[in-house]
Amino acid sequence: MKEPKEKKKGAEVAAGAGGEGLFASCSFSDLGLHPFLCQHLRDKMGFEFPTQIQAQAIPVVVSGRHVYPSRLVNAATGTGKTIVYLAPIVHLLQVYEPRVQRSDGTFALVLVPTRELCMQVHGVLQKLLHCFHWIVPGYIMGGENRAKEKARLRKGISILVATPGRLLDHLKNTSSFNYSNLRWIVFDEADRILELGFGKAVEEILDFLGSRQADHVRKQHMNTKSAKISRQNLLLSATLNDKVNHLANISLENPIMIGMDCKKDSAVPLKLSLGDAVSSASAVGGDLEGVGALSSQRTENYNLPSQLVQRYVKVSCGSRLVVLLSILRFVFERETSQKIVVFFSTCDAVDFHYSLLNKFKWSPNLQPEANQEQKFVSCRSFHLHGNMEHEDRRKAFHEFTSEKSALLLCTDVAARGLDFPKVRCIIQYDSPGEASEYVHRVGRTARLGEKGEALLFLQPVEIDYLHDLQHHGVSLKEYPLQNIIDSFSVHGQKHHNKKLISLETHPWVLFLQKTLETFISTESKLKKLANDAFCSWVRAYTAHRGELKRIFMVKKLHLGHVARSFGLKDQPSLVGRSHQIESKKRKRGQKKVISFKRRKPS
């Protein structure tokens, strides 16, 4: 992919057609932020001008207003929402007289859905606090050493970034955690956090913060000004929707919605608590992966970056693996320096494809001379998912972030909020399900004016998903797959036949599929990964919910072709009695239908 022209800064972009550019024409100081902070944003972080959402929302947060704003612009992914809440909080904390101290405890709490986002937000916060060293940042999250976190909480953390599970753990078990001065709770990726996967945890957290905070305040500050500490709750996301709006209204005091086109909602708020709405969905390993999101009853129109090129490729199940590897090889050969993220639906699928890409070597002229052999996809690859060891996750996240050219294979643990620099292409090998998750996945590219491409794999039986996306204002064009497949030669012969042949019978597809199956059958560890990936993929496919179930239907799948998409010659038995029982039931059902048809009078 061509490197985009250097990103224009500030006013040039702000003056874009109709003034709807990325950046506002005002300055950060116009937004009421402290001069030191404005200078730091400009000189140390390279932020010449505020983005549109920052210019609109920062004054609201700085004012501490509790009026429910009737309307705020929708903030697409990559438009600077992190600064929207961190900059005002830092600004308001640095004016405290006397200066805030560690012994005052936590003033601001930022809740995020994943460990990687926790580390990222904490990194931005540390940069912001360079000129306000007395304000102490910190983070707590799954996988970290609890004892060290306890020690840091005991000393005092002024602005705390946390994942819900670990926060709740400390609220319950770290009595020295002082949040009696808590003034802000921020829900970054609010719809993800407030939805069903974390519902119970968030409800318990709010109970702790709400009740204990009030008791503490009443006891300790009875006759002081701080007895009236007013709490501001901020909710941000590129995909807030009315249902989240209701949930937030009920569960939070005076929430301020940022990134939401909040039309006056006449509907009476729902009388359900976060916990009551908990569905079968569950958080995996403290992080959400593939959790079915709230299916909003009405279709939300999502804002996507205008420069994002969105395409889909229609591939039959049995040819998926060949097409994925061929596209990756083609793209990295054409442009060696670029970053690509590939999303899968399960941790096992990530592990299998990661291992295959690192092990599968071949020589271009197909002669198996060892010295000629090279990786089929010649780039550095990383993998990231919630079942990995904590240190491995941290390493993969930081290394992929800093690499100039690399490939990341991941689950939805990396779908939200992560700001990987220079990602040029997002490939969704497995569909995301809810359109909101589609928006967040593709939002890892085309950030803040950068160019970006998104490619969605769909099987012919899944093509209705395009209509579901269209209902949310998302439309994709078809990817020119034929040219790419034709560009590969078998034994030096390219397919020149102008007559279009089906993908499944293309010489290159047949050749590479056979080569992959042979290779995988000889690698026992890889074959095991393929088997596990096959089983978890089928399980994940059944997890689609709501109206998406009619698009992603397991019974429409040919399990033998699914096995081929994992390079398996034979279909593994679906692991676990439940699956064997299920598949026997399905077969019995099919036999009954057939026998019924035979019996029926003609």
Residue (246 or 447) nearer to ligand ATP, CB: 447
Q: Are 132 and 158 in contact (CB under 8 A)?
A: no
User: Does residue number 78 form part of the binding site for ligand ATP (CB under 6 A)?
Assistant: yes
337: number of Cβ within 10 Å: 14
Distance CA 280, CA 196 (A): 8
The token pair at 166 is 């670990």
Closest CB 318 distance from ligand ATP, rounded Å: 35
Backbone angles phi, psi at 13, to 5 degrees: -75, -35
Map residue 311 onto helix, strand or coil.
strand
Write down the least CB distance from residue 464 to ligand ATP, Å: 27
Between CA 567 and CA 513 the distance in angstroms is: 7
Of residues 230-289, which lie at the interface with ligand ATP (CB under 6 A)?
238
Closest distance between ligand ATP and the C-beta of residue 80, in Å? 3
Among 79, 114, 233, 355, binds ligand ATP (CB under 6 A): 79
Which residues between 149 and 178 bind ligand ATP (CB under 6 A)? Answer: none
Asked if 529 and 348 count as a contact pair (C-beta separation under 8 A), the reply is yes
- Interface with ligand ATP by CB under 6 A: which range of 81-89, 332-340, 344-352, 360-368? 81-89
**Which positions ≥6 away from 395 have C-beta within 8 Å?**
none
**Which CB atom, from 143 or from 443, has the smaller least distance to ligand ATP?**
443
Number of residues engaging ligand ATP in binding (CB under 6 A): 18
Taking the least distance from each CB to ligand ATP, the nearer of 77 and 158 is 77
Does 292 participate in binding ligand ATP (rule CB under 6 A)?
A: no
Q: How far apart are CA 440 and CA 240, in angstroms?
A: 12
Q: Which one, 86 or 109, has the nearer CB to ligand ATP?
A: 86
Enter the tokens of residue 27.
Answer: 């300055």
CB of 7 to ligand ATP, least distance (A): 8
Which is closer to ligand ATP, CB of 105 or CB of 443?
443
- Say how far apart CA 510 and CA 530 lie, in whole Å: 19
CA-to-CA distance for 233 and 189, rounded, in angstroms?
13
Whether residue 181 contacts residue 229, with contact meaning beta carbons closer than 8 Å, is answered with yes
* H or E element in which residue 436 lies: helix 435-442
For residue 443, state whether it binds ligand ATP (rule: CB under 6 A): yes
Which 8-state DSSP code applies to residue 209? I
The two three-digit tokens of residue 329, written as one number = 């090889």
Which 19-58 residues touch ligand ATP, going by CB under 6 A?
A: 47, 50-51, 54
Q: Which of 82, 428, 445, 513 binds ligand ATP (CB under 6 A)?
A: 82
Closer Cβ to ligand ATP, 123 or 275, answer by number? 123
Smaller CB separation from ligand ATP, 300 or 419 = 419
Alpha-carbon Rg for the chain, nearest whole angstrom, is 26
Question: How many angstroms separate the first and last alpha carbons of the chain?
Answer: 60
Which secondary structure element, helix H or strand E, spans residue 90, and what is its range?
helix 81-94
Interface pick for ligand ATP out of 246, 320, 385, 447 (rule CB under 6 A): 447
Under the binding rule (CB under 6 A), the answer on residue 77 touching ligand ATP is yes
Residue 419 found at the interface with ligand ATP (CB under 6 A): yes
Pairing of strands 255-258, 232-236: parallel
Using the minimum distance from each CB to ligand ATP, give the nearer residue, 349 or 414.
Answer: 414
Report, in Å, the least distance between residue 519 CB and ligand ATP. Answer: 37
CB 412 within 8 A of CB 288: yes
CB of 238 to ligand ATP, least distance (A): 4
Measured from the CB atom, the residue of 447 and 564 that comes closer to ligand ATP is 447
Single out the residue of 13, 14, 37, 83 in contact with ligand ATP (rule: CB under 6 A): 83
Between 1 and 448, whose beta carbon lies closer to ligand ATP?
448
Q: Give me the least distance between CB of 214 and ligand ATP, in Å please.
A: 31
According to the binding rule CB under 6 A, does residue 353 interact with ligand ATP?
Answer: no
* In the complex, minimum distance from the CB of residue 368 to ligand ATP, in angstroms, rounded to a whole number: 44
Distances from the Cα of 353 to the Cα of 324, 350, 482, 527, 576, angstroms: 10, 5, 23, 11, 23
Q: How many whole angstroms separate alpha carbon 45 and alpha carbon 43?
A: 6
Q: Tell me the closest approach of the beta carbon of residue 51 to ligand ATP, in angstroms.
A: 5
Which listed range, 77-85, 209-217, 550-558, 583-591, lies at the site for ligand ATP (CB under 6 A)? Answer: 77-85
- Considering the complex, what minimum distance in angstroms separates the CB of residue 249 from ligand ATP? 22
The identity of residue 353, as a single letter, is: H
Q: Is 492 left (phi over 0), alpha (psi -120 to 50) or beta?
A: left
Number of alpha carbons in the 13 Å side-chain half-sphere of residue 444:
29
Residue with Cβ nearer ligand ATP (157 or 238): 238
Residues in the site for ligand ATP, rule: CB under 6 A?
47, 50-51, 54, 75, 77-83, 238, 417, 419, 443, 447-448
